[in-house]
Amino acid sequence: MSKLDKVLDEVMELSLEEKEMLAQILKQRIIESRREQIAQDAQISLEEFKQGKYQALTVEEAIQDLREYLANSEQENVYNCYY
């Protein structure tokens, strides 16, 4: 039995109110973890930018890059649908 299965078995023994409380606690902790990960990723990106690994773009250049990226992603999705 996996660790997750054991935890789920234990959770099923809780009252409905306790399950709801646990769900809220888990939801908040997941949100906090995501925020921490975003902050960490942002810090890494800023450091890489300062090191010259990235260059600043104009708004128009950024939009064009995004459009090209999205167009390529859509083409890949179409390709993957056939294979």
Per residue in 30-69, pLDDT (tens digit) is 999 999 999 999 999 999 999 999 888 999 999 999 999 9
Task: State the Cα–Cα distance between residues 56 and 48, nearest whole angstrom.
Answer: 12
Nearest to 56 by CA among 45, 69, 40, 70: 45
Res 47: pLDDT? 95
pTM of the model as a whole: 0.61
Res 54: pLDDT? 87
Res 8: pLDDT? 96
Tell me: the pLDDT tens digits for 11-25? 999 999 999 999 999
* Number of Cβ within a 10 Å radius of residue 75: 10
**Whats the size of the chain, residue-wise?**
83
8 Å CB contact between 11 and 3: no
Residue 80 scores a pLDDT above 60: no
